[in-house]
Structure 1
Amino acid sequence: MRIDSLKISREKTRLHTPFKTALRTAVEIDCIQVEITLHNGIKGRGEASPTYVITGDSTESIEAALNGPIREALIGLDIFYFQEALKRIQACCVGNTSAKAAADIALFDAYCKLWNIPLFSFLGDQKPIQTCMTIGVDEPEAMSAIALEKVKEGFRILKLKVGEDPKLDMARIETIIKTVPDDIKLRLDANQGWTPKQAVKLIRELQQEDFPIEFIEQPVKAQDLEGLKFVTERVDIPIMADESVFSARDALKIVSGHYADLLNIKLMKCGGISEAIKIASMAEAAGVACMIGSMIESPQSVGAAAHLAAAHPNIQYFDLDAPLWLSMEPQYLIYEGENITLPNKPGIGTVF
């Protein structure tokens, strides 16, 4: 079944609340939509959203990669050569992981629609998913108030954005812990905001207080793997690599060198579902659990991540709240508090 066309479009979506991290503040996102059409008329859809400070991709670069080398790699190819098509996406250009992810998602969507099965069925199993809820970086009292609000909405795991200043971060954590019920778990995401020594000092203080911290994401700069290992070896709270992991090659280096305890997989970082599967499976062989995460992205790309999360046994943690930050109602996924239900429809669940 030949791939006849690849078309792209763009739309802008506002967030209902600014999303603040140690790296940026987002108030809206660009969604670049990719539509692949097969010879029999079946369409597959993927999407990407640029995050300069993480992937280096812009709206313009994503569109250029999709309109250029990615289109040339796919048009005219028989989709039944599915693995070949996935390889062509990854090999047609250097970098451009967001554009590759959009095309990869669209290809999986079209292929599953061709067989009339949900994506999670094609990928494996379907386990329950409970997402955490992110609390953007802010003053301690403001973060605490939002945290309590989200607990009342049904979220039992909160992901706190920190990383601007260790002393202020400690005040944020202490204030939130005093506010929320004792059974609430916390995850910290420093977004590369601490030095290795700052991270060790702060985390040891958290340990002494016996705070309910599940793990800490990317405490140091993405390229500072020795700094990451310095922190991992000196604290008891698990350390998760996020921005340090873009590919299966990156993941192999981190797990084989014991640089971190856990890995965070994001489709926009790694280039789509096909590379994400490699990361999760390779980490599983090394005994390292993974989380599926998202940046501020479109519902379509988060939906694809959710299908993968439900299907892969080594994806044990979930951070898929991005659609809940958008001013539009979530599509393709059903949120009931922290619980996510996948649509039992072909592909990712899109309807044309």
Structure 2
Amino acid sequence: MKISAIHLYAIHLPLHVPFVVSYHSYDYMPSVIVKVETDEGIVGYGEAVADEHVTGESWEGVYQILKNTLAPVVMGKNPMEIEKLHDHMNKTIYGAPTAKAAIDIACFDIMGKKLQQPVYQLIGGRYHDEFPITHVLSIAEPEEMAVEAAAMVEQGYCSFKMKVGTNVSLDVKRIQAVRSKVGEEIAIRVDVNQGWKNSATALTALKQLQDCNLDWVEQPVVADDIDGMVEIKAKSVFPLMIDEGLKGPREMLEIIQKRAADKVNIKLMKCGGIYPAVKLAHQAELAGLECQIGSMVESSIGSAAGFHVAFSKKAITSVELTGPLKFSKDVGNLHYDVPFIRLTDKPGLGVDVNDEMMRELTVFHESVYLKEENV
């Protein structure tokens, strides 16, 4: 089997409401959908959702890398040979994990369809039956976040991820307001998205939150400050999760060696796709670290890919892939049994792509084909 064509669709995914984090406010999510065709007629879909603040990639840049750099190098290759494909991509361009993830995900979709198996059966088999879905609270005024949280509890949610990372005093009020509103039994995780910058500021905030019973605090300092995470972990009562500070195996090794976190947030867009994510999960498991599969707010395609990794690994104990729940329109049909996610046994990613919706959401698109002499 050979890759015979790659179609790129740069799309805008519309959100029900703006998504606000410490460094940006999104009115829609820019994404690149990759459709990979093979000479056997099997088609796979992948996705790239870039974040300049996390991997240094932009929506436009990812599109161009896929078109001009990665598509030509994987064209004519066997999508089943995933280790070799990653080697080709890594030798062709340094970094660019989000662009590589799109190719990787599409190839796994093809593999699953070829073998008539869901992707999770190709990477270890199903371990988890279901995961609870955590509702993500965008940054807003304390009372607004508290009211939203209370409404979501009424819908059955039992855990929240709070986005904070502005100034410490207001962030503390936000967290205290939500805890007061939902009571002590509801799980609250706090994601700072690097917003508190350094360990001194983070420790100031966490000292004021000691009575708030937080599950964990995620990435309070800038991504590269692994030593800052070490200091916070040593001086705080809360478990720490690292997100932006973990991209690939080198960062994972440093985190393990320095005991810089209690939990790691693996994202396919940060590490390069399903195959590298599985490697990171194994690396973490060897060190006794729990893992989460996190989100860049992908469509049904990218979210399904993350769920397949999560469902196959014992070390992955939580997920935060809620993109499709935030979109008013989506290109796929990933189904949530809110407040749970339970994957089907459909082959590949298990997602049907709506071509009409893809056309509606597409801003621009192009195709790359296998040249005749390579057939």
TM bucket (normalised to shorter chain) is: over 0.9
Change (3 A) 1:148 1:329: farther
User: 1:129, CA displacement in angstroms?
Assistant: 1.4
Cα distance in structure 2, aligned partners of 1:101 and 1:347:
16
User: 1:5, CA displacement in angstroms?
Assistant: 1.6
* Count of equivalent residues: 350
Listed as ranges, the matches of 1:110-259 within 5 Å are 110-126=110-126, 127=128, 128-194=130-196, 195-207=198-210, 209=211, 211-259=212-260
Residue by residue, what CA displacement relative to the aligned partner does 1:14-37 show, whole Å, maximum 9, x if unpaired? 111111111110110122111111
User: 1:305, CA displacement in angstroms?
Assistant: 0.1
Residue by residue, what CA displacement relative to the aligned partner does 1:176-202 show, whole Å, maximum 9, x if unpaired? 111113310100001111121121122
2:76 is paired with a residue of what secondary structure? coil
The residue type equivalent to 2:189 in the other structure is R
TM-score w.r.t. length of structure 1 = 0.95
Change (3 A) 1:331 1:156: farther
Corresponding residue for 2:41? Answer: 41
Cα distance in structure 2, aligned partners of 1:24 and 1:180:
27
User: 1:50, CA displacement in angstroms?
Assistant: 2.1
Cα distance in structure 1, aligned partners of 2:17 and 2:331:
15
Cα distance in structure 2, aligned partners of 1:301 and 1:219:
26
Listed as ranges, the matches of 1:1-352 within 5 Å are 1-126=1-126, 127=128, 128-194=130-196, 195-207=198-210, 209=211, 211-328=212-329, 331-351=332-352
The residue type equivalent to 1:31 in the other structure is S
Cα distance in structure 2, aligned partners of 1:304 and 1:238:
27
User: 1:77, CA displacement in angstroms?
Assistant: 1.5
Cα distance in structure 1, aligned partners of 2:278 and 2:256:
16
Residue by residue, what CA displacement relative to the aligned partner does 1:193-238 show, whole Å, maximum 9, x if unpaired? 112112112223322x2x2210000010111111111111111211
Q: Which runs of 5+ in 2 are unaligned?
A: 354-375
Runs of 4+ in 1 over 4 A off after TM superposition: none
TM-score w.r.t. length of structure 2 = 0.90
Query: Superposition RMSD on alpha carbons, in Å?
Result: 1.5
Cα distance in structure 1, aligned partners of 2:175 and 2:78:
53
2:209 is paired with a residue of what secondary structure? helix
Cα distance in structure 2, aligned partners of 1:181 and 1:107:
45
Cα distance in structure 1, aligned partners of 2:153 and 2:332:
23
Q: Which runs of 5+ in 1 are unaligned?
A: none
Change (3 A) 1:342 1:330: farther
User: 1:283, CA displacement in angstroms?
Assistant: 0.7
2:162 is paired with a residue of what secondary structure? strand
Cα distance in structure 1, aligned partners of 2:162 and 2:46:
29
Q: Percent identity?
A: 33
Q: Which has the bigger relative contact order, CA under 8 A and spacing at least 6?
A: 2
Residue by residue, what CA displacement relative to the aligned partner does 1:135-160 show, whole Å, maximum 9, x if unpaired? 01111011111111111122111001
Cα distance in structure 2, aligned partners of 1:156 and 1:17:
21
